[in-house]
Structure 1
Amino acid sequence: MLISFDWLKQLIDINKPTEEVGALLTGAGLEVEGIHTFDVVQGGLEGIVIGEVLTCERHPDADRLNITTVDIGNGTPSQIVCGAPNVAAGQKVVVATVNSTLYPTGGEAFKIKKSKIRGAVSEGMICAEDEIGIGISHAGIMVLDTDLANGTPAAEFFGMSSDKVFEIGLTPNRADAASHYGVARDLQALLNAKVVLPSVETFKIENTSKPVSVEVENTEACPRYAGITVSGVKVGPSPEWMQKRLRAIGLSPINNIVDVTNFVLHELGQPLHAFDADKITGGKIVVKTAAEGTTFVTLDGVERKLKATDLVICNAEEPMALAGVFGGKTSGVTDETTTVFIESAYFSPDYVRRTGMVHGLKTDASFRFERGTDPNIVIYALKRAALLMQEVAGGEIASEIVDAYPEPIQNFELELSIDRAQRLIGKEIGAERIKNILTDLGIEITAVTDISLSLSVPPFKVDVKREADVVEEILRIYGFNNIEMNENLATTYLAKFPKPDPEHITQTLLDYVSANGFHEIITNSITNSKYYEQAGEAETAGLVHIVNYNSEDLNVLRKSMVFSGLEVLRRNINRRQKDLKLFELGKVYELVEDKYKESTKLSLFMVGNVTAESWKQPSNKVAFHDLAGTVQNVLRKLGADFEVQALEQNNFMGQGVAYIKNGTVIAQVGVLNTAVTRFMEIKEQVWYAELNWDYLLKKYKINLVAEELPKFPEVRRDLSLVLDKNVTFDQVRQVALRTERKLLQDVNVFDVYEGDKIEAGKKAYALSFTLLDKQQTLTDKVIDNTMNRLMQQFEKQLGAFIRK
């Protein structure tokens, strides 16, 4: 929905900038998705002003040129060379100032620059009407008859000022705001201003020579139908001011009669329809549902077969319009029309919605009728349209107002508890503030007590039917951002925030691991002490021995997940299942300073090939990153941040890495020592990972982050670094992230080289850097400066050599 800012200002006094008004509307539930500039002429005459010619002398080196000095209101007269034959001192003229851009009629745009013409300095241009795009004449410069001050924008003189247009994403529950008047009502409450509708006091019935009677057969589908006749009209183009209003909101002017109905629709939210009164056979309007299968040609020339549920507007013989949806081809206004019957009605949303869906018709009128219009504005809209038609097309009111309204639609009555309202809001905003907001929104307060308000809600508030709906109205005007949240986010009006459920988090992450091809195993937490004895004295320390064990092979509680997992690997490998990805979540036990300690670990094992052998691709042996990638993704899903350090070799693990947070190892990934695997009778290389599950569940929860897709493109730049062999990629990454915190989104290594083509003890990293500015498109200058700073820091902090 498009709303003109200038049009709004005709209804309510607004002294705030466009952007601030847009923010207020968005906060009140009318989301402003964009603010556009509407120019009556291209460029909006920006930089073009009214000036006064002070002097005019013939150019010494050109017979057809004059050198003028022109006052353009900036305190210093401008010298302008002009070739127009009618230029003279004392004239008020239109001046394009230096750096303004002209959009001439039928020509290419060009920018005005300070220049020299035949040796004389020229600081602007005195314009003809075709040169600024408002006409076609090029006979000479425009000479104005005006008292406007020098320097006044020309757009103000010509009535062609640019307009700001709000693009509002109207939600279905805000039918009351589907017009400039509806939006102004919200601003009335937001700005503590007063909406003033155009007066219809001058409306009067001049004669009753063209009466039209109305009969409503289906009052359920049409609770109210009103109309009036205007005779002696002359169909033609609308005046410029009306065309400007309609064009600003994306409508194409048609003729003065149709334009008036569209104007009132978007001003008040009340759809109207204009019939050629001479085509109303029998001088009678009948509102009824159609006979099944009736053929009817709509305004677009399509013949349609009507349903028995379609509400139609008929004359004494045949249908003339689909009520609230679309007019008929034969009854509409044409250039020959001299008498118009204006329809203003309230139709049932259900009937209009059904008809629109059946026939695939969506119009500005049906958009409003099917959501619910205001039955109480029907007569005002009728008078407003009649007066506008007289203004733009002439004519006179030639009938009484016909108003078929057998059962007036009543306001909706309800009680509002002040205490409950403030608890739902989450803040005590005071009874007076509540009453002011409701009154400004058009909700009548019929009775007041210390604890409650009796309210009468008008029909145009179609979605306000409960106490909670009223509270929502109050809250959106008061401002959601004005409700402070307390430190603990504890409230009496919201459901309790559930505590992170460890079981749910665990299951979600195990499902992720399983989805990546790992099979879950469940092993005995009682194991053999010999496993730890062969691993060394350090591993036997802290073992929890079982006093009454039944078997020498099951005499201790496991201290590590390693051996129970290796038992499963051995059993499967011995049965020729050599490509394995296994995981287990289980308990481990340890005796620490005479206290028994129980903790939970997540272990992962990989052995053999990552992918099975096939004709499409070769089989690849498991490598470090195959397992580390899964571990890192689990940590990221928990929202864990960490540092990566090389893992010190121990009795179980050979080479690998540890993921550390605040000095605590939260996970480790590496290859198991061959001494351990051989003891377990496994010849293959085994990759192993272990996560400190208790710590992770205590410190983190599943971290779901949603953000808007970037509007601007990412940029990738590659870099090749030669570094000492002991410098890790993580060190490179940390230097990059510290150097560029805003634009750098990702650092990736896509190639590593070690060989005879570079110095011994060195390695080469091929790195990619992803840059993104969420506010604007990155320029080459910004990108180059960023990459230069990164290269400087790599050289300074890591001793890198940049390969160019």
Structure 2
Amino acid sequence: MKVGPSPEWLVEALEAVGQRSINNVVDLTNFITFELGHPCHVFDLAKLAGGSLVIRYARKGEKLRTLDEKDRVLRADELVVADAERAQSLAGVIGGADSEVGNQTTDVVLEMATWDPVTIRRAARRLAIQTDAAHRFERIVDAREIEFAARRAAALLVEFAGGALCEGVLADGREFAAPTVVELRPQRVRDVIGVDIPDDEQEAMLSELEIGVERGGSGTLRCTIPAFRHDLTREIDLVEEVARVKGLDAVPILDRMPIVAKPPQESEGAVRAIGTVLGGLGFYETVTFTFVGREAAEPFLPPEMRLLKVDDARRSQEPYLRPSVLPSLLACRRTNQHGQVEQAGGVRLWEISSVFAELDKEGRQGIENRNLALLMDVPGEGRKRSADDRQRGVRLMRGAVESVVRARWRGARLGWRSCRASLARRRLTRRRRRRCWWRGSGSGRSGS
């Protein structure tokens, strides 16, 4: 084939979506990305060692110079397209400079593929690479449409770059997923939208969206979802499609909403009751961030557990999901202290939030609980607190916990026992601790 300038229509089409023209071969692959939503890549065949392409994971520390002329050091969990010797492309993210198509290129290999979204997202974010290809692969490109997109790309390359298309196709991968089928009740559509749309009209609307429609039993429509519509998985999704095609301006707007007021869920009622009680006791609710640093998290890690770390460059300073809400409350209290905040009776904070950890065993078994955490200043005068001050603080905290329980469960009784501190490596463990028992099992800890 002949690599050269792109035709004017192609240049204008790419400029319309914010892309600059490079050459006819590369521009055509970019055009396919925006036309069909299927990113593809071309390699200069003469630059591939052994004339082969291998899909594999990178070797730890393997280097790749990408098309932006940056040298990347790869990790063993990042997928690459390689030749017989080295990586030539970071799969689904960005191509390599060593096999780039240039003016001297005469033979190319067209690659059209789909990749695991999590693998692509992890590599793109770690290396801080934002490309149109990665954006699409992170959001699922269906393998069932690869063949059509590949044939379309090959036809354009032959037409506008000349040359000849070699016979045969190299294809591999998992078996295609079965089509998604959703049952739609036409009466349900009418009930939700509030517009009387006949069954035949609904069927015609969905067919126009390339959704296969067959009449099912009990007056339902059996809808086969096209491969490119991963957002259609439920009946309500199809109801929305019918409303969109019909026109949202056709949906009636009522002066009054015919709704039935229901009491809040039990969990919401419990949170309200807790907030009311703690607010009366002088506690302020906080909403703190879920991530903490290792130094803040480790003292609160339960036995036989390990921390959960998020592999994201944006969380490089505090990458761990907190195993307890307490380090977040302590950080909030420190901020108040630095701001010289004074409160009668001392600063008192509370929060209900999720905490995370995983079992310290082979494999990964994550645990998530929703906990209530309280933090309060020990009352007293001066900078130091006496043993009597600390005992008073413990009694106040115990009273707050018992008030919360009794407000929600009348007649409930809590038992308190001395226990060994689980925070074995920090100064926090030097004080006496209590464990709270309710209904025969441990339900919390307190300490000063």
TM-score norm. by structure 2 comes to 0.56
1:460 partnered with 2:217: no
Structure richer in helix, relative to its length: 2
State whether residues 412 and 457 of structure 1, in contact with CA within 8 Å, keep that contact through their aligned partners in structure 2: yes
1:407 partnered with 2:181: no
What's the secondary structure of 2:125's corresponding residue? helix
- What residue number does 2:2 align with? 234
Q: 1:489 aligns with which of 233, 248, 257?
A: 257
- The AA in structure 2 aligned to 1:258 is V
What's the secondary structure of 1:403's corresponding residue? coil
- What residue number does 1:784 align with? none
- What residue number does 1:280 align with? 48
Q: 1:382 aligns with which of 105, 130, 150?
A: 150
Judged with a 3 Å threshold, the aligned counterparts in structure 2 of structure 1 residues 480 and 386 are, in CA distance, closer, same or farther, namely same
Q: 1:368 aligns with which of 130, 133, 136?
A: 136
1:342 positional shift:
0.7
- The AA in structure 2 aligned to 1:472 is E
- What residue number does 2:417 align with? none
- What residue number does 1:436 align with? 204
What's the secondary structure of 1:455's corresponding residue? strand
- The AA in structure 2 aligned to 1:276 is D
| Structure 1 unaligned residues grouped into runs of 5+ | 1-232, 499-804
Judged with a 3 Å threshold, the aligned counterparts in structure 2 of structure 1 residues 441 and 497 are, in CA distance, closer, same or farther, namely farther
Q: How does 1:67-216 map to 2 (within 5 A)?
A: none
1:422 partnered with 2:190: yes
Provide the C-alpha distance between the structure 2 equivalents of 1:278 and 1:396, rounded to a whole number of angstroms.
16
- The AA in structure 1 aligned to 2:206 is L
Provide the C-alpha distance between the structure 1 equivalents of 2:210 and 2:51, rounded to a whole number of angstroms.
38
1:356 partnered with 2:124: yes
Judged with a 3 Å threshold, the aligned counterparts in structure 2 of structure 1 residues 432 and 446 are, in CA distance, closer, same or farther, namely closer
Provide the C-alpha distance between the structure 2 equivalents of 1:284 and 1:447, rounded to a whole number of angstroms.
49
Q: 2:37 aligns with which of 258, 269, 276?
A: 269
State whether residues 372 and 460 of structure 1, in contact with CA within 8 Å, keep that contact through their aligned partners in structure 2: no
1:294 partnered with 2:294: no
Provide the C-alpha distance between the structure 1 equivalents of 2:87 and 2:47, rounded to a whole number of angstroms.
11
1:307 positional shift:
2.1
Q: How does 1:715-734 map to 2 (within 5 A)?
A: none
Judged with a 3 Å threshold, the aligned counterparts in structure 2 of structure 1 residues 292 and 377 are, in CA distance, closer, same or farther, namely same
Provide the C-alpha distance between the structure 2 equivalents of 1:475 and 1:377, rounded to a whole number of angstroms.
27
State whether residues 375 and 460 of structure 1, in contact with CA within 8 Å, keep that contact through their aligned partners in structure 2: no
What's the secondary structure of 1:396's corresponding residue? coil
Provide the C-alpha distance between the structure 1 equivalents of 2:123 and 2:39, rounded to a whole number of angstroms.
16
Judged with a 3 Å threshold, the aligned counterparts in structure 2 of structure 1 residues 387 and 394 are, in CA distance, closer, same or farther, namely same
1:312 partnered with 2:80: yes
Provide the C-alpha distance between the structure 1 equivalents of 2:60 and 2:160, rounded to a whole number of angstroms.
41
1:28-81 Cα offsets, whole Å, 9 max, x none, are xxxxxxxxxxxxxxxxxxxxxxxxxxxxxxxxxxxxxxxxxxxxxxxxxxxxxx
State whether residues 65 and 96 of structure 2, in contact with CA within 8 Å, keep that contact through their aligned partners in structure 1: yes
Judged with a 3 Å threshold, the aligned counterparts in structure 2 of structure 1 residues 496 and 340 are, in CA distance, closer, same or farther, namely farther
Provide the C-alpha distance between the structure 2 equivalents of 1:350 and 1:330, rounded to a whole number of angstroms.
26
- The AA in structure 2 aligned to 1:345 is A
- What residue number does 1:736 align with? none
Provide the C-alpha distance between the structure 1 equivalents of 2:95 and 2:261, rounded to a whole number of angstroms.
54
What's the secondary structure of 1:296's corresponding residue? strand
What's the secondary structure of 2:130's corresponding residue? coil
- The AA in structure 1 aligned to 2:121 is R
- What residue number does 2:407 align with? none
Judged with a 3 Å threshold, the aligned counterparts in structure 2 of structure 1 residues 430 and 496 are, in CA distance, closer, same or farther, namely farther
State whether residues 418 and 453 of structure 1, in contact with CA within 8 Å, keep that contact through their aligned partners in structure 2: yes
What's the secondary structure of 2:187's corresponding residue? helix
Judged with a 3 Å threshold, the aligned counterparts in structure 2 of structure 1 residues 461 and 496 are, in CA distance, closer, same or farther, namely farther
Judged with a 3 Å threshold, the aligned counterparts in structure 2 of structure 1 residues 488 and 349 are, in CA distance, closer, same or farther, namely same
What's the secondary structure of 2:53's corresponding residue? strand
State whether residues 64 and 73 of structure 2, in contact with CA within 8 Å, keep that contact through their aligned partners in structure 1: yes
- Runs (4 or more) in structure 1 with deviation over 3 Å come to 495-498
Q: 1:480 aligns with which of 248, 253, 262?
A: 248
What's the secondary structure of 1:397's corresponding residue? coil
Provide the C-alpha distance between the structure 2 equivalents of 1:355 and 1:436, rounded to a whole number of angstroms.
43
- What residue number does 1:247 align with? 15
- The AA in structure 1 aligned to 2:171 is D
1:450 positional shift:
4.4
Provide the C-alpha distance between the structure 1 equivalents of 2:104 and 2:118, rounded to a whole number of angstroms.
36
Provide the C-alpha distance between the structure 2 equivalents of 1:432 and 1:449, rounded to a whole number of angstroms.
15
State whether residues 410 and 459 of structure 1, in contact with CA within 8 Å, keep that contact through their aligned partners in structure 2: no
1:497 positional shift:
11
State whether residues 275 and 341 of structure 1, in contact with CA within 8 Å, keep that contact through their aligned partners in structure 2: yes
1:338 partnered with 2:95: no
- The AA in structure 2 aligned to 1:315 is D
Provide the C-alpha distance between the structure 2 equivalents of 1:348 and 1:354, rounded to a whole number of angstroms.
10
- What residue number does 1:645 align with? none
1:632-673 Cα offsets, whole Å, 9 max, x none, are xxxxxxxxxxxxxxxxxxxxxxxxxxxxxxxxxxxxxxxxxx
1:397-423 Cα offsets, whole Å, 9 max, x none, are 123122224411221122122222322
Same amino acid, percent of matched pairs: 37
State whether residues 235 and 256 of structure 1, in contact with CA within 8 Å, keep that contact through their aligned partners in structure 2: yes
- What residue number does 2:420 align with? none
Q: How does 1:557-596 map to 2 (within 5 A)?
A: none
State whether residues 286 and 313 of structure 1, in contact with CA within 8 Å, keep that contact through their aligned partners in structure 2: yes
Provide the C-alpha distance between the structure 2 equivalents of 1:277 and 1:399, rounded to a whole number of angstroms.
16
- What residue number does 1:329 align with? 97
1:357 positional shift:
0.9
State whether residues 346 and 373 of structure 1, in contact with CA within 8 Å, keep that contact through their aligned partners in structure 2: yes
- What residue number does 1:471 align with? 239
1:355 positional shift:
1.4
Provide the C-alpha distance between the structure 1 equivalents of 2:43 and 2:80, rounded to a whole number of angstroms.
14
State whether residues 409 and 459 of structure 1, in contact with CA within 8 Å, keep that contact through their aligned partners in structure 2: no
State whether residues 411 and 459 of structure 1, in contact with CA within 8 Å, keep that contact through their aligned partners in structure 2: yes
What's the secondary structure of 1:414's corresponding residue? strand
1:395 positional shift:
0.4
1:448 positional shift:
2.7
State whether residues 447 and 454 of structure 1, in contact with CA within 8 Å, keep that contact through their aligned partners in structure 2: yes
Deviates more, 1:322-331 or 1:446-455: 446-455
1:255 positional shift:
0.4
1:174-232 Cα offsets, whole Å, 9 max, x none, are xxxxxxxxxxxxxxxxxxxxxxxxxxxxxxxxxxxxxxxxxxxxxxxxxxxxxxxxxxx
1:273 positional shift:
0.3
Provide the C-alpha distance between the structure 2 equivalents of 1:307 and 1:427, rounded to a whole number of angstroms.
55
1:496 positional shift:
5.4
| Structure 2 unaligned residues grouped into runs of 5+ | 264-448
1:486 positional shift:
3.2
| Larger-Rg structure | 1
1:280 positional shift:
2.3
Provide the C-alpha distance between the structure 1 equivalents of 2:4 and 2:205, rounded to a whole number of angstroms.
44
What's the secondary structure of 2:237's corresponding residue? helix
- The AA in structure 2 aligned to 1:482 is A
What's the secondary structure of 2:113's corresponding residue? strand
Provide the C-alpha distance between the structure 2 equivalents of 1:367 and 1:456, rounded to a whole number of angstroms.
26
- The AA in structure 1 aligned to 2:105 is T
1:454-477 Cα offsets, whole Å, 9 max, x none, are 222123111211111221222222
Q: How many positions carry a matched residue from both structures?
A: 263
Judged with a 3 Å threshold, the aligned counterparts in structure 2 of structure 1 residues 432 and 392 are, in CA distance, closer, same or farther, namely same
1:325 positional shift:
0.7
